[in-house]
Chain A
């Protein structure tokens, strides 16, 4: 029975995760335009763009190899696999036993490396620059993320995302300060991880570009869902719960995504003038925050 419920939850989650990214991107684009005093495109514009791009034949650079054509698929698949592991509205999905935080980070790294290789494959300067920068930011983000995982692993006793979310939902009130610091650090990582990778996809066109853009939107949704599941697990339907809890979970998920989007927009507006080498500095500050959170936890909890 619980297995059936798990599969059902997973299917619903998969449908949501597949459909939501372009809508989220559209909402974000609209809000960003309004924030700047423009009227902005309609919410469904990214969907329309995707559909139109998918109908177009790609133009490949003459020096591009077979790998270049295959990598958008790898990128989407790895991001999607990670997205299927991160709970959105309910715990206890059929993929819950696989949903290890380090594995999710690994799948994201797989998607990122695929895109970086694509950037280097055509042999253009812009693609190489994008690859070099994207991997640089990810490298600086890695230790921050691991310290956040360390914190969660100490609080929950495991790095399984499902178990972490379940444990934190019932967690005590005394742990809020380290978690708050870790949340800030994770937001900085998400900002660096979802930020512009435009130069990487410069040589892509047609259906390949559709896949790459879809993967980018999916990655944004994934990061927001991940932050919501790690730090704001309230409202999540517990494993094996009924449709009522699911609806509550859905509403809570939408509210959390909205709130996080608003925060992201404000952060983005503040970080608009960041130069390339400022991002590692931002991540360095995030690293200090995460380390501080871990030390606070050690001192307050002991964990002997």
Chain B
């Protein structure tokens, strides 16, 4: 029954061009059906006679992989339906195939194969130079080492059943898995490759990276830390996840307010949302270690739900950005504006996506964030004043990230889609072609549906939560997301009905009691008269400026430079803003130093005299011999 999924990976490697696009769409939709079916029936396994000698490849579809297949496949299907010919790189299907293979892996070998394939495909899709390849190679080494540490001594059996018997001690496995999967999820400080890669990245590829690849990385984290490491991991394993999650959440959302490229803004917000999810995973791990299964289920449920929601609205927004780029030709916020008049369909879809991005009730992003924040609020019951203090700070940072996300969403929609056109291109845009509009409408509809029925979506993840957290949230019912069985919680339909009634009331009183009709006149602008130059409206940099002066100055070392010409000189004044990610000196500086030293060494090695060269060769030989003897 899951055969449709199993053929996707190899098939997609072969096909290319328009056929591949149609095939990718069909197979993704088929796969979606299969994973929904798998969620409702139960786990399936399949052994393939290819791959590792003597062992083959094992594929398995259980509740966790089926649930996280949903965002990946929705993203893939939407990209396949949307991408125009020149954007559809022939490697897209291979990228999706590798992601699906990772999610379907039933042993450590297949998991590593799929994950490194995903990284390789992502690297080849990024134009220009990217440090991704090095990071990915490093990550794969880490992941392999982690799995090897988990494997039973003696036999090299990497099947998930064998790995689950391991009882890891110390911090090695945790650190290796975080390094191995964290870079692909964009967890701080390994997020540095993401933002520089995005200004040149086509929007559909960015949609697959944000909507799909980050979820695959989260899957690897959950699979290894929650499942393969067994149920007895200590509570403090959650702490690194909490710290890196909170840091990514705040940094990502802050960058989302600072970036000026439509796609980069969304990529940065992806870092933020993945950070929020990672804090939830941290709480879940800590709570499970402290034997609080209900809390662990709430946190894990929130993380899974938000991953699904982000797969929907992240893809939606990035594809809308792609449509804008198609029609306007640019995607810098400072060259857009007023698109609501010319691209109404795209704008409406982007509004739905942005409301989810801002985590506003009753849209898709709220339920997951609600559950994550609820788990953070209840987490101090795990105990220990140090951990409690950390949790309080994490909760405050998570709330800050949510607020920053709302700010970024307002800025994104307000500057790009509302206001007056800033360039002739933006003023002459027209709406996206029909297939793109249909795809955006379907994604918007799905995310509205998820916003209204988060309890039902969470219900699908119940089997996964029972296995991984030891409890589920079934007591809450289908219409409610709640921390415990008889507790009040977030009832999305209830809030939607209340909001709808209030809206209807406001509309009614406007219609019955108030003046009809309206007049049009030039904008008043506080008495400054009708504005003429569109550059006088608030833009990307001006909206971000107060934030750059407060949080940006502390976290991103923001330095403003205003260069104003003297009176009488008609030269325009210039405003510059220099920002630096705090991870740069932390991570890149040592790497650069090591690279400098290595290249200096290599430089010296090329200029050796014949005698020195011979000496080095003999020394290496002697060392190798000594090693052999020893």
**Chain A residues at the B interface, C-beta cutoff of 8 Å:** 54-67, 69, 73-74, 76-78, 80-81, 84-85, 95-100, 102-103, 106-107, 109-110, 113, 116-117, 119-129, 131-133, 135-136, 138-147, 149-150, 153-154, 158-160, 162-163, 199, 202-203, 206-207, 210-211, 276-277, 280, 287, 290-291, 294-295, 298-299, 302-304
A277 in contact with B488 given A142-B399, A211-B506 (CB within 8 Å): no
Task: List the 9 shortest-distance A-B pairs measured between CB atoms, nearest first.
Answer: A128-B538, A120-B414, A142-B403, A146-B399, A304-B383, A123-B420, A139-B403, A61-B523, A143-B396
CB < 8 Å neighbour of A163 from B407, B488, B498: B488
Closest to A130 in B: B538
* Chain B 478-515 interface residues, beta-carbon cutoff 8 Å to A: 483, 487-491, 494-495, 498-499, 502-503, 505-507, 510, 513-515
* Chain B 552-567 interface residues, beta-carbon cutoff 8 Å to A: none
B285 in the interface, Cβ–Cβ < 8 Å?
A: no
Assess the A277–B549 pair: CB atoms within 8 A: yes
Beyond A57-B518, A143-B397, A149-B377, 10 extra complex contacts between A and B, CB < 8 Å: A54-B514, A58-B515, A76-B502, A110-B355, A120-B414, A120-B537, A125-B536, A143-B399, A146-B396, A211-B506
* Chain B 528-558 interface residues, beta-carbon cutoff 8 Å to A: 528, 530-531, 534, 536-539, 542-547, 549-550
Assess the B361–A107 pair: CB atoms within 8 A: yes
* Chain B 430-481 interface residues, beta-carbon cutoff 8 Å to A: none
Distance of A210 Cα from B549 Cα, bound (Å): 34
Q: Determine the main DSSP class of A at the interface with B.
A: helix
A54: B residues at CB distance < 8 A: 513-515
Closest to B504 in A: A77
CB < 8 Å neighbour of B495 from A103, A202, A280: A103
Distance of A149 Cα from B518 Cα, bound (Å): 43
Distance of A56 Cα from B483 Cα, bound (Å): 48
For this complex, 21 residue pairs linking A to B, each with C-beta atoms less than 8 Å apart, are A56-B515, A73-B507, A84-B498, A98-B498, A102-B490, A117-B410, A120-B543, A124-B531, A128-B419, A129-B538, A136-B547, A136-B550, A139-B547, A143-B400, A145-B399, A146-B373, A150-B392, A163-B488, A210-B514, A299-B385, A303-B388
Min CB distance, A274 to chain B, in Å? 14
A107: B residues at CB distance < 8 A: 361, 495, 499
Which of the 9-residue segments B234-242, B265-273, B333-341 touches chain A?
B333-341
Assess the A132–B340 pair: CB atoms within 8 A: no
CB < 8 Å neighbour of B519 from A58, A98, A113, A280: A58
Q: Determine the main DSSP class of B at the interface with A.
A: helix
Assess the B410–A207 pair: CB atoms within 8 A: no
A139: B residues at CB distance < 8 A: 400, 403-404, 406-407, 547
Assess the B550–A140 pair: CB atoms within 8 A: yes
Closest to B386 in A: A298
Assess the A150–B499 pair: CB atoms within 8 A: no
Distance of A211 Cα from B510 Cα, bound (Å): 9
Min CB distance, A82 to chain B, in Å? 9
Min CB distance, A16 to chain B, in Å? 16
A63 in contact with B488 given A113-B406, A146-B398 (CB within 8 Å): no
B402 in the interface, Cβ–Cβ < 8 Å?
A: yes
Number of A-B contacts (CB under 8 A): 288
CB < 8 Å neighbour of A63 from B413, B523, B547, B550: B523
Which residue of A143, A211, A303 has the most chain B CB atoms within 10 A of its CB atom? Answer: A143
Min CB distance, B513 to chain A, in Å? 6
Which residue of A67, A132, A291 has the most chain B CB atoms within 10 A of its CB atom? Answer: A132
Assess the A65–B340 pair: CB atoms within 8 A: yes
B516 in the interface, Cβ–Cβ < 8 Å?
A: yes
* Chain B 325-374 interface residues, beta-carbon cutoff 8 Å to A: 337-338, 340-341, 351, 355, 358-361, 366, 370, 373-374
**Chain B residues at the A interface, C-beta cutoff of 8 Å:** 337-338, 340-341, 351, 355, 358-361, 366, 370, 373-374, 376-378, 380-381, 383-385, 388-389, 392-393, 395-400, 402-404, 406-407, 409-411, 413-415, 418-420, 483, 487-491, 494-495, 498-499, 502-503, 505-507, 510, 513-526, 528, 530-531, 534, 536-539, 542-547, 549-550
Assess the B525–A135 pair: CB atoms within 8 A: no
Closest to B521 in A: A59
A57 in contact with B415 given A98-B491, A113-B358, A211-B506 (CB within 8 Å): no
Distance of A103 Cα from B363 Cα, bound (Å): 12
A96: B residues at CB distance < 8 A: 488
Assess the B538–A69 pair: CB atoms within 8 A: no
A77 in contact with B503 given A100-B490, A124-B523, A199-B526 (CB within 8 Å): yes
Closest to A74 in B: B503
CB < 8 Å neighbour of A81 from B399, B403, B498, B515: B498
Distance of A159 Cα from B523 Cα, bound (Å): 44
Min CB distance, A167 to chain B, in Å? 13
Assess the A291–B503 pair: CB atoms within 8 A: no
Assess the B523–A122 pair: CB atoms within 8 A: yes
Distance of A299 Cα from B513 Cα, bound (Å): 56
A121: B residues at CB distance < 8 A: 340, 414, 418-419
A154: B residues at CB distance < 8 A: 377, 380-381
Assess the B543–A77 pair: CB atoms within 8 A: no
Assess the A116–B414 pair: CB atoms within 8 A: yes
A303: B residues at CB distance < 8 A: 380-381, 383, 388
Assess the A207–B510 pair: CB atoms within 8 A: yes
Closest to B373 in A: A102
CB < 8 Å neighbour of A150 from B380, B415, B522: B380
Distance of A60 Cα from B520 Cα, bound (Å): 5
Assess the A98–B495 pair: CB atoms within 8 A: yes
B514: A residues at CB distance < 8 A: 54-55, 207, 210
B397: A residues at CB distance < 8 A: 143
Closest to B396 in A: A143
Distance of A127 Cα from B420 Cα, bound (Å): 13
Assess the B538–A127 pair: CB atoms within 8 A: yes
Assess the B378–A63 pair: CB atoms within 8 A: no
Min CB distance, B113 to chain A, in Å? 42
CB < 8 Å neighbour of A125 from B360, B510, B519, B531: B531
Distance of A277 Cα from B545 Cα, bound (Å): 11
CB < 8 Å neighbour of A76 from B377, B495, B506, B516: B506
A280: B residues at CB distance < 8 A: 550
A277 in contact with B361 given A81-B502, A100-B490, A113-B410 (CB within 8 Å): no
Closest to B404 in A: A139
Distance of A37 Cα from B360 Cα, bound (Å): 43
